[in-house]
Structure 1
Amino acid sequence: MKLHTDLFIDGAWRAGAGGRRFDVVDPSDLSTIAQFAIAEEQDCMDAVDAAAAAQEGWAATAPRERGELLRAAYEILSDEVEDFAAVMVRENGKSWSDAIGEATYAKEFFRWFSEEAVRVPGDYRLAPAGDKRIIVDRQPIGVSLLITPWNFPAAMATRKLAPALAAGCTTILKPARETPLTAAYVVEVLFRAGVPRGVVNLVTPVPTGPLVRRMIDRPEIRKLSFTGSTEVGRDLLRACADSVVNTSMELGGNAPLVVLPGADMDTAVEGALLAKMRNGGSACTAANRFYVHSSLHDEFVARMDDALAKMSVGPGLDRSNNLGALVSVPERDKVAALVDRAVAEGATLRRGGRASAEGAFYDPTLLTGVEHGSTITTTEIFGPVTAVVRFDDVDEAVRMANDTVYGLMAYVFGEEREAVRVARRLEAGMVAVNRGVVSDPAAPFGGVKQSGLGREGGSEGILEYLEEKYIALTE
C-alpha cells in the first residue's frame, strides 16, 4: 500500500514549494510514520488556479459522467476497505472496529452522490400573472474549499468531496495536519477513478490560518465547507464575509443523552455505549451529558460501569481492542484535565480517569454526581468519559438539555411516544430515539444554534453546492 505524502495540485503529486515537511505521528506509540509536504502560499495559489481553470469544463461534464466517476471511486474503496481503514488506525489512533466502520461509511458518500448527481431538481411553471414562464435552474456554485477535521478523516472528506463533485464544483481539500494520509488516499482513489486534472486538489498549508484566509480572499473561491470547532468556524465566517463566500459549517457539539422514566434499560445502555464510546468519544455527535431519571439512575450507572469495565484499550491494529488512542498526547491531556476538574467540582470518579504512560490512551471513564452547569457539562469532552446527571422532572431535563449554545445532536431513550415528544422539544439538528447512532449518507446531517449552518448528506447535501438561477421566458 503506497502512502502519498505530497500535495496534489492540477493532477500531479508534488512537494511543497519550500521543500518543508511535517511529521505524521502514530498516537498509539508516538512514532513518526511519515513526513508530509507543507503547502506554501504559492502552492495554495496554484491549487486555486488549477481548480478555477478546471471549473468550466467540470461544470459542463454530463451529470451521468460525474456520477459514474464517483461510483468508480466507491468501487475502488470497496475493494480496498481494509487498507483504507489501516491508514486511519495508524495516523488517527482509533480502534480497528471504528476505522473499518468509518471506511465503510465514508465510501457510501461516493455511491450516494453518484446517484444524486443525476437527480438535481429544477422548476418550470407559468407565472401567476400569465405573462411569462418561470424557469428555476440549479447550477454549480463554483470552486469549493473543503476543510476537514482529524477525528473522522475519511468520512468528512468524502462527505464534502462527493456532493461538490456531483454538483459540478471543482475542489481544494485541506485536511487536518494530524491526518493528511487518509485525505491523500481519498484523493488518489479519485485520481485512479478518472477525475480530470484540476478538479480535486490537496493542500496542507503552514501556517494554516493565514494561508486559508489568502485562499478565501481569492475571488475564484465561491464556497467554503468547514467541519471543526465553533471557535475556528466563527473566524472563518468573518473571513468569508469580506467576499460573501457561501459557507457550510458543521461545528462543535454538546450532545445531551436523556434517559426517561420507563426506558428499556437494555436499549438505553447499549445505545449509550454507542453514543459515547464510538470513535473513543472523539465525535461531534458523541453524547456529552447524560441526564438519567432518578428511578433508573442507579441501575443505569451500575450497568454502564460493568460495560466499561469490559472494554479493552490498546493499539487499533490489534483488532481485539475496543478503544484506541486519542489523536495526540495534548488531546489526551485535555480530556484528563476535564476529568480532574470535574472531580474537583464535586463529581465522583466511579471508573477510569487514568492516562497511559505511553501513547495517547485514556481509560473509559465514568463520573457520577455531576452537576448541570459544571465545567464538564459545558465543554465538549471529545474523549471516552461518561458524565451522569440525575434528574427528577422531565421538563427540567429538557431545560438542562437545551441549556447550551450548541445544537448538533441529542439522544432520548424511553417509551417511544413520550421519547418522540421529548425529541421534538430538544434544540438539535438531529435526535436519536432509542438508538445510539444516526449518521447515514441518505440523511441530512447538521446542527442548529452555534453547531453549524447547512446540511451534509441526503438529497439536501448536493444543494449546498448549487445556486438557483431564475430565467424568465415571455409567454
Structure 2
Amino acid sequence: MDKLQDALLYINGEMRPAGNGAFYDNINPWTGKPCGQAADATADDVDAAIACARDAFDNTDWATNHDARVAAVTKYVEVLCANRDKLMQIARLEAGSAIGAAARAQIDGALNGAKDLLKCWEKVELVEDLGIKNEGYDTKRIVRREATGVVGAITPWNVPLYVNVGKVIAALLAGCTVVLKPAPDTPLMGTIMGELAIESGLPAGVFNVITSADPAMAGEMLTKDPRVDLISFTGSTAVGKIIMKNGADTLKRVFLELGGKSAFIVLDDAENFPMTVMGSMVVFHAGQGCAYPTRLLVPKSRYEEAVGALQMAYAGFADKWGKFDEPTCIMGPLISKKQLGRVSEYLEIGKQEARLLAGGNVRTDMGEGFEGGFFVEPTCFVDATNDMRIAREEIFGPVLVVIPFEDDDDAVRIANDSVYGLGGAIFGSTERAVKVAERIRAGALSVNGGVSITGDLPFGGYKQSGMGREWGVEGIVEFMEIKAIGIRAS
C-alpha cells in the first residue's frame, strides 16, 4: 500500500518542519501502520503562525481589497480541484476512507462545496444603504459587513478536507486570515492545503497550518490567545464546551459544530417501506459522521416488517465492506485504535441493553496486509428504547439503533428527546413528512431523500449540537462583523 508524503507545517507562505525537527507517525487505519509522518509543532510554531496571521490581517490589504482577495481565493479553489486525485489518495490512506466514500463526501463534496462558496460570496451584501431617517435632523444610515480578524479553525478527522474547506474558504472570502489546526489523525489533509496555497499564489500569512501529535496544545493556544478573534470548531460536544470556556476571557466569537444522534424516521405511509428501512443502515464511512442518522424510528404497526427488512439488508451487505480497491465500497475501517476501543465498548453496552440483530464484532480477518486495521462490523440493535445509552450517546461508528413509535407525535417526541439536534431524515407522504420535519429541533433535515447538506445551504445544529452555521451565505457572514454608520445629512 502506497506511502504518503510527510505533512509539514505551513507558516507565512512556507512549508517547513517543526522548530525542533520533531515528527510523529501518520497512521493508516486500513493497516494500523504508518503511511507517513507529520511535523509535531512546538508552542513556538503555533505562536509564529498566529503572529503571521495577525500581521497579514493588520498590515496588508487582504481584508479590504475585495476584488484581489476573491480572485486569489478563486485561483486557490481551482488548484484544489485540479489536485483531486492527490486528495483522494490522502483521504483513502490517512482518513481510512473507502473509494466510494472518498469520491463523494470526502473529496467531491469538499471541492463542490468550495465552488458553492464562491457563488455564495456574490450574494453577500457588504454595504447596505438603509436610507435617511429623521431623528430631529436627517441621518443617512449605512450597514457594513467587515472581516472579523484572525480565525482559529480546529477541525476533525472524519471528513477532514470537507470541514477544512468549509471553514478556510469561507473565512478567507470574508477577509479573515486563518490558522488551521487539523486533527492529529489527519495532518496531511490540512498541510496539503498549504502546499496547494503556495502553488496557487495565495499571499503569505493569510493562511497557516499547524499539525501536532498533541490533540490539545495548539487548540488551547488558539482558543486563549488574544490575537485570535474567532474560533471555528468541529468536533465533540465535550471539547466544544472546553473551547467556550477557554475563549471566555478574551470574549472570542466561537462557532461550534458538535455531536449528533440524529433520527431516521420512517412513517407508515412511506413509499416502498422495506427499501426505505434498508436505506437506514449506518455503513457510509463506517458511521463516522456527526449528522449521520443513527436512530431508526419505525411505527409499531410495521415494526416486524422493518426488522425483517433490516435483517435482509445487513445479510446482503456482509461481504460488501472493508475492501480497499473496490470502487463501489463505501465502508472502511474506523480512524484509529482509540476509536476502535470506544466503539467496541458501545458494542458491549448494546448487547446488554437491546437485541443484536447484526454485526457487533471487531474484525481482524480482513485479508493479508489488513490484519492490524481498525475494523468493526456493520451493527444493528433492535428492540431499543430511547433511554438506553446506545440511543442517547454519540457512538461515531457503524451502529444503528432501532426504536418503535406509536404515531407521528410519538416519533417527534422521541426524535427531540436528545441533547443533540444536528440532522435527521423523514420518509412518508410528502405533506405529512414535511409537517414532522418542521417539528424536529435539528439544523439539517431531509424529507424523502432530499439533500439537506450542500455547500450552498447553511449547516449547523440546535441544542448541544452547536451554535452558528457553516456553508452557504450564512457560513461566510459568520466570519464578518456588522458595523452601523450614521451620517448627518442636514
Instruction: Tell me the TM-score normalised to structure 1 length.
Output: 0.95
Matched residues in 2 for 1:133 and 1:349: separation? Answer: 67
Q: Quick check: 1:109–1:162 contact (8 Å CA) kept in 2?
A: no
Please name the residue that 1:228 is paired with: 235
Matched residues in 2 for 1:109 and 1:397: separation? Answer: 32
Please name the residue that 2:114 is paired with: 110
Q: Quick check: 1:73–1:193 contact (8 Å CA) kept in 2?
A: yes
Distance 1:67 1:296, change over 3 A: farther
1:321 aligns to 2:335 (yes or no): no
Instruction: Tell me the TM-score normalised to structure 2 length.
Output: 0.92
Please name the residue that 1:471 is paired with: 485
Matched residues in 1 for 2:134 and 2:302: separation? Answer: 59
Please name the residue that 2:386 is paired with: 372
2:310 corresponds, among 290, 304, 313, to: 304
In the TM superposition, 1:337-348 aligns within 5 A as 337-345=345-353, 347-348=354-355
Matched residues in 2 for 1:369 and 1:362: separation? Answer: 21
1:336 corresponds, among 324, 344, 367, to: 344
Please name the residue that 1:120 is paired with: 124
Distance 1:320 1:70, change over 3 A: same
Matched residues in 2 for 1:190 and 1:109: separation? Answer: 17
Matched residues in 1 for 2:378 and 2:16: separation? Answer: 41
In the TM superposition, 1:425-436 aligns within 5 A as 425-435=439-449
Secondary structure, counterpart of 1:154 in structure 2? helix
Q: Quick check: 1:255–1:288 contact (8 Å CA) kept in 2?
A: yes
1:174 aligns to 2:176 (yes or no): no
1:193 aligns to 2:221 (yes or no): no
Provide the aligned length of Structure 1 versus Structure 2. Answer: 472
In the TM superposition, 1:44-193 aligns within 5 A as 44-56=46-58, 57-60=60-63, 62-101=65-104, 102-121=106-125, 122-124=127-129, 125-129=131-135, 131-193=138-200
Q: Quick check: 2:263–2:295 contact (8 Å CA) kept in 1?
A: yes
Question: Unmatched 5+ residue regions in structure 1?
Answer: none
Secondary structure, counterpart of 2:102 in structure 1? helix
Secondary structure, counterpart of 2:116 in structure 1? helix
Q: Deviations over 1:68-104 (max 9, x none)?
A: 3332233223333222111111011121111111211
Please name the residue that 1:255 is paired with: 262
The worse-fitting range, judged by mean Cα deviation, of 126-135 and 254-263 is: 126-135
> Could you tell me which amino acid in structure 2 is paired with residue 30 of structure 1?
G
Q: Deviations over 1:101-153 (max 9, x none)?
A: 12111112322222333443131122253520111111100010000000011
Shift of 1:363: 1.2
Matched residues in 2 for 1:318 and 1:26: separation? Answer: 17
2:22 corresponds, among 8, 20, 23, to: 20
> Could you tell me which amino acid in structure 2 is paired with residue 147 of structure 1?
I
Secondary structure, counterpart of 1:310 in structure 2? helix
1:356 corresponds, among 345, 349, 363, to: 363
1:388 aligns to 2:402 (yes or no): yes
Q: Quick check: 1:205–1:212 contact (8 Å CA) kept in 2?
A: no
Distance 1:123 1:291, change over 3 A: same
Please name the residue that 1:443 is paired with: 457
1:398 aligns to 2:405 (yes or no): no
Distance 1:166 1:26, change over 3 A: same
Matched residues in 2 for 1:109 and 1:103: separation? Answer: 10
Q: Deviations over 1:193-246 (max 9, x none)?
A: 111000110012454434422333322210100000000000000011100111
Please name the residue that 2:301 is paired with: 295
Q: Quick check: 1:248–1:452 contact (8 Å CA) kept in 2?
A: yes
Shift of 1:390: 1.4
Secondary structure, counterpart of 1:291 in structure 2? strand
Q: Quick check: 1:140–1:467 contact (8 Å CA) kept in 2?
A: yes
Identity of aligned residues (%): 33
1:285 corresponds, among 284, 291, 299, to: 291
Matched residues in 1 for 2:231 and 2:330: separation? Answer: 35
Matched residues in 1 for 2:258 and 2:196: separation? Answer: 27
Q: Deviations over 1:274-320 (max 9, x none)?
A: xx322221000111211100232222222233222233222434434
Q: Deviations over 1:343-368 (max 9, x none)?
A: 212x2111111211231111111211
Q: Deviations over 1:18-50 (max 9, x none)?
A: 222111111111110111111111000000111
Q: Quick check: 2:257–2:460 contact (8 Å CA) kept in 1?
A: yes
Matched residues in 2 for 1:81 and 1:438: separation? Answer: 24
Shift of 1:190: 2.3
Matched residues in 1 for 2:420 and 2:437: separation? Answer: 16
Q: Quick check: 1:63–1:117 contact (8 Å CA) kept in 2?
A: no
> Could you tell me which amino acid in structure 1 is paired with residue 164 of structure 2?
A
How big is the alpha-carbon RMSD for the aligned residues of Structure 1 and Structure 2? 1.8
Secondary structure, counterpart of 1:435 in structure 2? coil
Matched residues in 2 for 1:54 and 1:217: separation? Answer: 20
The worse-fitting range, judged by mean Cα deviation, of 207-216 and 226-235 is: 207-216
2:45 corresponds, among 43, 46, 64, to: 43
Matched residues in 2 for 1:442 and 1:4: separation? Answer: 33
Matched residues in 2 for 1:353 and 1:422: separation? Answer: 32
Please name the residue that 2:367 is paired with: none
Q: Deviations over 1:249-285 (max 9, x none)?
A: 1011110111111112266236424xx3222210001
Query: Which structure has the highest helix share of the two?
Result: 1
Matched residues in 1 for 2:15 and 2:173: separation? Answer: 23
Secondary structure, counterpart of 1:161 in structure 2? helix
Matched residues in 2 for 1:437 and 1:328: separation? Answer: 29
Distance 1:300 1:389, change over 3 A: same
Matched residues in 2 for 1:90 and 1:317: separation? Answer: 12
> Could you tell me which amino acid in structure 2 is paired with residue 27 of structure 1?
P
Please name the residue that 2:368 is paired with: none
Matched residues in 2 for 1:413 and 1:46: separation? Answer: 51
Q: Quick check: 1:267–1:435 contact (8 Å CA) kept in 2?
A: no
The worse-fitting range, judged by mean Cα deviation, of 167-176 and 294-303 is: 294-303
> Could you tell me which amino acid in structure 2 is paired with residue 441 of structure 1?
G
Secondary structure, counterpart of 1:164 in structure 2? helix
Matched residues in 1 for 2:275 and 2:474: separation? Answer: 31
